[in-house]
Amino acid sequence: MSTEQREGAAATAIISQKVLPGREREYASWQKSVNAAAADYAGYLGAEVTPPTSVQPEWVVVYRFDSVAHLQAWINSATRQSLLDIGDGYLDGPGTQQVVSGGTQPTDALVTVVVSHRVHARHVDEFLAWQRRMSQEERRFEGFRGTEIFRPVEGVQDEWTTLYRFDSAEHLEAWLTSSKRQEVLAEGERFDTFRLRTIDNSFGSWFAFEENGRNAPPPSETKTALAVWVGLYPTVVLLTLALSPLGMPFWFGLLVGNLLSSFIMSFVTMPYYVNRLLERWLRPAPDTPAARTNLFGLGVVAAATVFWGTVFYLVTTRIWTLP
């Protein structure tokens, strides 16, 4: 992944904030209403909320819009400001915010560090050279997955923002505490005033779509439930057929079957079967009428259900009987 800025219209805001102890549930409810309000604004692509983890001490909210202008309209809107006034009662001090234009989101499990620098215009070339040097050293460390650097966004933020990613918190910590990183930081003494935050992205997604660097919002709860059902039925039946000859006790068979089905759904069924089969329904084109999209999706769901039902009926009644 290049350290040069990626061209693209999509814009992302990364907001971190501490929540007062005991107010987490109220904050989560409030944040849900904020995200719902954002969805009403032009260009909205999606929002993600990540609670604190052992790696990431703050709540992190990520907003994606199709352009800086649309993102700026939401950030500066009276709607958002009025919601922020309400949310102040749940927050432990002011949060931090970075806005990046362009770029892509990794689909695998990563831990991301966000670093913000203020760079004077006459020092930009020197700063970029130093960032390239930093990236060269990062690549030598185990678990490194890539770096992206984003220029300031006029009218939104004055800082340069760098994202670099590792495959685990342990590998990230090895880099952050390494003598080599301290050496490179010393070389960039002019840029030693910065903010560094870690975002824990080590969670899977059964619905990951990406096109030209633009991430679609997640499907609705109804679509999600039906899509999972389409994948879960054949997965569970096939596992039952595969495990039944082993003669395991009922309770233990379910335990093993549920464990295996979780892995198979995450790594095989959803990404290679359901997402491809239902992609036009789960992520419809913007100009496609909703009624037409839903009719198509429900038709595919029905056809898949009839197909698997017929197959398993024949297998279990005409070809093979479960022991």
pLDDT of residue 193: 64
From first CA to last CA, the distance across the chain in angstroms is: 53
Residue 195 pairs in a beta bridge with 116
At the topology level, CATH places domain 11-201 in: Alpha-Beta Plaits (3.30.70)
Q: State mean pLDDT over 164-186.
A: 84
pLDDT in tens, 206-258: 555 443 333 445 566 688 888 889 999 999 999 988 888 888 888 888 888 88
pLDDT in tens, 105-152: 444 456 777 787 888 888 888 888 888 888 888 888 888 877 777 777
The ranges assigned to domains in the chain are 11-201, 219-319
Please state, in angstroms and rounded to a whole number, the distance separating the CA atoms of residues 3 and 134: 10
